[in-house]
Amino acid sequence: MTVGGPEGRTGGRPEGRNIVVAITGASGALYATRTLAALLERGCHIELIVSEYGRRLLRDELGETASADKLMEYLASTFGENVRNGTYTLHSNKDLGAKIASGSQHSEAMVIVPCSMKTLAGVAHGLSRNLVERAADVMLKERRRLILVARETPMSLPQLRNMVLCAEAGAMMLPAMPAFYQMPQTLADLADFIAGKILSALGFEHDLYPEWKG
Ligand SMILES: Cc1cc2nc3c(=O)[nH]c(=O)nc-3n(C[C@H](O)[C@H](O)[C@H](O)COP(=O)(O)O)c2cc1C
């Protein structure tokens, strides 16, 4: 299902950047929605995958209106109509035949936000059990940018080792650890900080948090 863009368009916006975003079942749904909104505002085409527990997380943490199947409406009402500058295609996590399951597709980068410890383990060990894990595996084998916004606390030794394995394979570990030196006032400020870090890692300019002046 492709959402947004001129009527009848089935692919991405040729002028926008094409990025895979996966939402899995770790706490921090607001990091995912803020990141998606920021990328859509910039005219990106998103190849979106939401795991079964990612779907549950969106509803549990943001309410019933944040359904994965109606995400554009939720994003527009929460972050403004500019999110319609971009488009997304929602893929089934079971569809291992989707184009993003292949190295010949053109997505330049992938972000898993938030990234559960289960998905982290799957990526670390190259399991490709579902489309999230397979698309991440494609990013690693093609030497493209893969950003994992892992969240768990405390962490077990296997989880810590899985982060090291992913980093050694070339992924960027960007754990959901907002900073407090920016004096955040709201939950939105915390989400802006993590989304800003993700955008920086993807090479976008942004003002999601104030620049550190030293
Ligand atoms: C509300 C909720 C919050 C959760 N938070 C976390 C979390 O922060 N980190 C984590 O690794 N798993 C968390 N889990 C457990 C994962 O959702 C579970 O391991 C699931 O199998 C992950 O599958 P997925 O990676 O395919 O989405 C949470 C589950 C629920 C229902």
pLDDT, tens digit, for every residue of 52-80? Answer: 999 999 999 999 999 999 999 999 999 99
pTM over 0.85: yes
Distance CA 213, CA 18 (A): 32
CB of 62 closer than 6 A to ligand 1? no
CA 121 – ligand 1 centroid, Å = 12
Each residue's pLDDT tens digit, 124-178: 999 999 999 999 999 999 999 999 999 999 999 999 999 999 999 999 999 999 9
Q: What is the DSSP string of 31-86?
A: HHHHHHHHHHHTT-EEEEEE-HHHHHHHHHHH-GGG-GGGHHHHHHHHH-GGGGGS
Spacing, Cα 18 to ligand 1 middle (Å): 27
**CB distance 75 to 33 below 8 Å:** yes
Task: Check if 56 has its Cβ closer than 6 Å to any atom of ligand 1.
Answer: yes
The whole-angstrom separation of Cα 38 and Cα 34 is 6
- Residue 195: predicted pLDDT: 98
What is d(CA 96, CA 161) in angstroms, rounded to the nearest whole number?
27
pLDDT at position 72 is 97
Residue with the smallest CA separation from ligand 1 atom 9 is 26
Is any ligand 1 atom within 6 A of the Cβ of residue 93? Answer: no
